[in-house]
Amino acid sequence: KKKKKKKKKKKKKKESRNFGILSKKRSIYAESRSLAVADYTWIVQNTEHSDEEWMLNIAVERKQIKDFESSIIDGRLRDQGLRMINSGIEKRIFLIEGDTNNLYHDPSRVKRYQQVVANLQVQKNAKHSFLVVRTLTGESGCDWLIDMTKLLHMSLTKYPQTAFSMRFEQFQQNKKLQQFPPRLSFIRLLLTVNHVTPPIAFAMARKFPTLRHLYDAWDACNGDIAEEKMLIHKNVSVSALDMLANTYAQDPKLDHHLKLFVHDNVATYVSHVPIGRDISEKIWTAFRRR
């Protein structure tokens, strides 16, 4: 009997996201350090005094698209954005790697991703906006970083004094693990859920100060999914005054005096209204769904 030759399976080459490896191949010097804020930045050293280091006015937070979506849900994206804004760096970039068409089959998730990206790029205060760079693969993300390094090097030869923002030691004083009060962290986490407004988030935090308190309440339902979904609707109510004030304050058609009238008189008619069933279920889906 003829022995059948086993076909050797070709191993797929893993896509390289390691910037250090690819940068060496292209003669770009990269050093690994623990940064106070962001994943990548560029430093200029004094040739005579190597301890003297200056930051260029640019920082990059690099994320794969799945991690980017997770950071929206758990609130990390908001925290990272705030730390970058408070760092003193003016040119802040989110580098997102991955193709949404291949990863997401849920239109609502695509819509949320697109909305967050748009919000990052367009802010009421232009100083709080970000540049969002999207690439299809991790390797092309590395290519972008390498090209940016070359571009910055060229710009420094023409404008050697204009690109610096601060000393590196000053930049490192920013605490990466900035501590926030638990209640505030929970409020910010709730605001990542679609249709959860600040009045709803504050009302939630009054009843459940942290996510742990909310989980304990869900656990007390003894596995009754329907009861868990309606828990917030049954236990948390929002001041109608807060709800309408929040709505009308953002309405440009109402003048200042009419807004004050609404704010002062609405409490006469309705005291509190329960959080809607749909919002209650959305919060359960965001944090509890098994």
- 3-state SS of 39-83 is CEEEEEECCCCCCCEEEEEEEEEEEEHHHHHHHHHHCHHHHHHHH
Do 151 and 171 share a domain, yes or no?
Answer: yes
Q: Report the percent of the chain where pLDDT is more than 70.
A: 72
Q: pLDDT of 204-261, one tens digit each? A: 888 998 888 999 999 999 989 999 999 999 999 886 555 544 444 444 444 444 444 4
**Do both 134 and 169 map to the same domain?**
yes
**Which residue among 154, 176, 198 closes a domain?**
176
**Domain match, 192 and 151 both:** no
Residue type, 144: W
Look at residue 240 in the predicted model and tell me its pLDDT: 55
Cβ proximity of 164 and 55 under 8 Å:
yes
**12 within a domain of the structure (yes/no):** no
Q: Is the same domain home to 158 and 229?
A: no
- pLDDT tens sequence across 66-99: 888 888 777 778 778 888 888 888 899 999 998 8
Q: Is 242 or 27 the better-scoring residue by pLDDT?
A: 27
Q: What residue numbers bound the domain in which 195 lies? A: 182-288
CATH code for the domain of 113: 3.40.50.10130
234 and 143 together in one domain: no
Looking at the 3D structure of the chain, how many domains does it have?
2
Do 78 and 164 lie in a common domain? yes
Residue 59: closest CA among 138, 133, 159, 136: 133
In the listed set 176, 209, 236, which residue is the last one of a domain according to the structure? Answer: 176
Question: 247: closest CA among 210, 273, 229?
Answer: 273
Label residue 134 by pLDDT band (50, 70, 90).
very high
The pLDDT of 121-134, averaged and rounded, is: 82
**pLDDT for 103 beyond 60:** no
28 belongs to a structural domain: no
Of 176, 203, 219, the domain-final residue = 176
Judgement on whether residues 123 and 52 belong to the same structural domain of the protein: yes
Whether residue 267 is predicted with pLDDT greater than 50 in this model: the reply is no
Contact 239, 272 (CB under 8 A): yes
Find residue 40's DSSP bridge partners: 60
Residue 21 has pLDDT above 60, yes or no: yes
Query: Dihedrals φ, ψ of 244, to 5°?
Result: -75, -35
If asked whether residues 132 and 148 sit together in one domain, one would say yes
Residues 135, 192, single domain; the answer is no
